[in-house]
Structure 1
Amino acid sequence: MIYLDNSATTSTDPDIAAIALDFMTNRYGNPSSLHHFGMDAYQAVMNARYQAARLIGAPTDSVYFTSGGTESNNIAIRGTALANQAVGRHIVTTTIEHSSVLSCCQALEKEGFSVTYVAPSPETHRIEAQDILRAVREDTILISMMHVNNETGEVLPVREVAEAVHREHPHTLIHCDTVQSFGKIPVKLHELKVDLLSASGHKIHAPKGIGMLYIRPQVPVTPLEYGGAQEGHVNPGTESVPLICAFGAAAEKRLLNMKQNLEQVTRLNRYCRNAIIDAFPQVQILSPEDACPYVLNCSFPGTQSGDLVDALSMRDIYVSAGSACSRGTLSHVLKSAGYEASLVEGALRISFDAQNTTEEIDTLLQALKDLILK
């Protein structure tokens, strides 16, 4: 099998899975229990919180565990909107966000909030900082923008926006979805300067079903669910200790190996990009030159990406036609970026991991030649 769909999900690291299994079968205490068995689980959760916080340079007590990126995004956006509606009811986001952000904003519109959706520039096909800043109003309570786009790898100007907004509109909060950058490229709070940050475990070889949300101290967030005092009331309910500890271990492993992983993936991306350009004169590379190297989006005009994905999967080669959450529909990211229909229809997303090899890319390229140049 050749797996090049790592932006959709990664395999669970066997060492990480072993940690989860240990907490499922041997150390299964409830972290809210006061006996020693419960305290062992409590200490394990606190250690995982430290590991996750360390990866972004956050205070440990400002990190809250969730079920994944979608729940983190919903708590960040809806929770912040509800808690701050006395200040204003306007939100700014972009048209290339993950569906969990866009759908949450659309739901808030039905409840009387107003949302401005900033589209990529027609000239650059990218989100420009000045376009976001022009959308900010006196009643803007939140800006939600991703760090790295999941379909093209575009790195959005989060720091530039955050610095300007905090200077000119200090009451406006900044939320950043870092699901595609957390543990892959450096993500540090002192650099991004955001107030809320979402991340997910299954993009960094932790199991599915676990994520985190950073909330800057003193930022008010209304919980979306009610129950016990777990996770600072932000996300109440008995913690999934096995998944939390797996997430923490995966975060620590990514911190230790980030530099070498990034160097390997950068080499793979460059190799794949150059080989595709050489082999297919008609190809259009839709990922920016300075995109996150974990993602390469390329379009083969005259083809249907869904057909290519199916044909490649028959050869045990796995890539994507876009976001896994889109379930085969045409990319809203590429359409909103202003690309013509033939490019959107023929777009493939190849997403790498440090475990991939140039030999795998050669096999992918030969398969694409067989399918496209026949």
Structure 2
Amino acid sequence: MDREIYLDNSATTKPYDEVIEFVNHISSNVYGNPSSLHIKGIEAERMVKNARGIIAKSLGVSRDEIYFTSGGTEANNLAVAGYLYANPRKGKHIMTTKIEHPSVMEVFNNLSQCGYDVDFIDVDKNGVVLVDDIREKINEETALISVIYINNETGAVQPINEIAKIKNSINRDIVLHVDAVQAYGKIKIAPQKEGIDILTMSSHKIHGPKGVGALYAKRDIKLKPIIFGGGQESQLRSGTENVSGICGFGAAVDITFRSIEESAVHCENLKNMLLDMLKKEVEDAVIISPEGSSPYILNVSFPNVRAEVLLHHLETKNIFVSTGAACSSRKQVLSHVLRAMGIKPEIIEGAIRFSFSAFNTQEDIIRTVEAIKDILPKIRIKRGGRR
């Protein structure tokens, strides 16, 4: 079989070899419980502390402002619910966008049933939040605004700096949470300079192990735990620390940030190559990702094609892509992100997300386009519903 071509890096990434080796080393040798008082526990605690420092340094923040979680989903839940539960007097009005990851959307849906007044802010045709709507809807009861930094389906980059300035010009006490799962390790983020109060990250999006994420919370932000127990993570997130995962996360951050600019340029070139080839060689391809979107994501629709059918045909050629957000792609519903952008259902049905990493090559792009050209005539749906 041909060499594997993996273009689903927004769903998860292949761990670095160095990370795998380091995780195995930690699992085999640094297996103590960080809460234990003996030398094995102290050694594990030291390794967790080191990883925390690496992540803090990458953001330009203090080590004691980083909290480890089981991943991006838990971190988003802790950020939003944890802040609101800890600060009930801050207000009952909260805002997010219509293009958020389900781990934010579902929290807001739940909060709307628990007495909170929720505004889901519209986006324009490019999937960029309408900041004027945020400005208009902020009121004296607004406690929190949550915005995804880079959308996981289209790569649309949100104007975080502008949102922070608008929020601060009206009420600096409103907390801004940013889901940076698709942004962290892809662009440099400076929470303190950008006006971000709480930030969510995930290990497996940057070639680290699955099952570990992190939350940055500015020192004066009060959060309430959503998991109770032994009081680990400074009383904020109970449960014995995933020492090997946390160490692997730290190692992945260290490696990723050494070449963050070079990786972005490499992926931008691959994305532009794929974009140009699809426009020239594939009839009727509809480009959904807007100009200026993340170098790592390209969403394209192939009309009169069911995306899932194309995905599985590509899989037979050892090429792996996605129909949208991996966490919700099994649900038989049209993408809420693309619907919010006003895209027609028949275009959404044919939408494929290609997402890149530094491991991809130009040969990957060439082979992918050739495969698409070969497959499309076989699976296009003719008028009347017949193939």
Please indicate the TM-score interval, normalised by the length of the shorter structure: over 0.9
Residue identity opposite 1:136 in structure 2? I
Residue 111 of structure 2 corresponds to: 108
Q: Contact 2:99/2:127 (CA < 8 Å) preserved in 1?
A: no
Q: Which residue of 1 aligns with 2:320?
A: 318
Map 1:220-299 onto structure 2 (within 5 A): 220-299=222-301
Asked whether the equivalents of residues 323 and 329 of structure 2 are also in contact (C-alpha less than 8 Å), the reply is: no
1:356 paired residue number: 360
**Residue in 1 that maps onto 2:63:** 60
**Alpha-carbon distance in 2 for matches of 1:340, 1:327:** 18
Aligned match for 1:371, one of 365, 370, 375: 375
Shift of 1:3: 0.5
Q: Tell me: CA distance 1:28–1:55, structure 2 relative to 1, closer, same or farther (3 Å).
A: same
Q: Over residues 64-87 of structure 1, what are the superposed CA-to-partner deviations in whole Å (9 max), with x where a residue is unaligned?
A: 000000000000000111112212
The answer to whether residue 94 in structure 2 is matched with residue 91 in structure 1 is: yes
Quote the offset at 1:323 in angstroms: 0.3
Q: 2: distance between equivalents of 1:32 and 1:173?
A: 32
Contact 2:100 2:148 in 1 (8 A): yes
Between the aligned partners of 1:192 and 1:367, the Cα distance in structure 2 is 42
One-letter amino acid of the counterpart of residue 153, structure 2: E
Rounded Cα–Cα distance in structure 2 between residues aligned with 1:120 and 1:336: 7
Q: Is the 8 A contact 1:125 1:338 kept in 2?
A: no
Q: Tell me which moved more, 98-107 or 221-230.
A: 221-230
2:175 matched to which residue of 1? Answer: 173
RMSD: 1.2
Residue 221 of structure 2 is matched in structure 1 by: 219
The CA distance in 1 between the partners of 2:285 and 2:302, in whole Å, is 5
Q: Write the distance in 1 (CA, Å) between the matches of 2:170 and 2:325.
A: 35
Q: Offset of 1:172 from its aligned partner?
A: 0.6
Match of 1:72 in 2: 75
Which whole-Å deviations, capped at 9, do the CAs of 1:188-242 have from their partners, x for residues lacking one?
2134211000000000111110000001011111111222231111111211110
| 8 Å Cα contact 1:68/1:200 also seen in 2 | yes
Match of 1:44 in 2: 47
Distance (whole Å) between structure 2 residues aligned to residue 256 and residue 303 of structure 1: 41
The one-letter code sitting in structure 2 at the alignment partner of 1:197 is L
Residue equivalent to 1:337: 341
Of 32, 35, 52, which aligns to 1:32?
35
Deviations 1:59-117 (A, max 9, x none): 11100000000000000000111112212111100010000000011111111111100
Q: Give the AA of the match of 2:59.
A: I
Q: Does the Cα contact within 8 Å between 2:334 and 2:345 map onto a contact in 1?
A: no
Q: Provide the C-alpha distance between the structure 1 equivalents of 2:361 and 2:16, rounded to a whole number of angstroms.
A: 18
Indicate conservation of the 8 Å contact 2:128/2:157, yes or no: no
Cα drift, residue 125 of structure 1: 4.2
1:273 Cα deviation after fit: 0.7
Aligned residue for 1:142, secondary structure, equals strand
Opposite residue 245 of structure 1, the aligned amino acid is C
Q: In structure 1, what residue type is equivalent to 2:354?
A: I
**Aligned residues, how many?**
373
Tell me how far 1:280 sits from its aligned partner: 2.0
Map of 1:4 onto structure 2: 7
User: Which shows bigger deviation, 34-43 or 174-183?
Assistant: 34-43
Q: Distance in 2 between matches of 1:207 and 1:252?
A: 14
Letter in 2 for 1:355: F
Quick one: distance in 1 between partners of 2:74 and 2:257? 24
User: Deviation of residue 5 (structure 1)?
Assistant: 0.2
Q: 2-side partners of 1:281 and 1:315: how far apart?
A: 21
Task: Kindly indicate whether the alpha-carbon contact (under 8 Å) linking 1:309 and 1:320 is maintained by their aligned counterparts in 2.
Answer: yes
How far apart, in 2, do the equivalents of 1:282 and 1:127 lie? 28
CA distance, structure 2, for counterparts of residue 90 and residue 83 of structure 1? 15
Aligned residue type for 1:14? D
Does the 8 A contact of 2:311 with 2:322 survive in 1? yes
The 5 Å alignment of 1:173-212 reads 173-212=175-214
Q: 2:103 and 2:245 mapped to 1: Cα distance?
A: 21
Which consecutive residues of structure 1, in runs of 5 or more, have no partner in the other structure? Answer: none
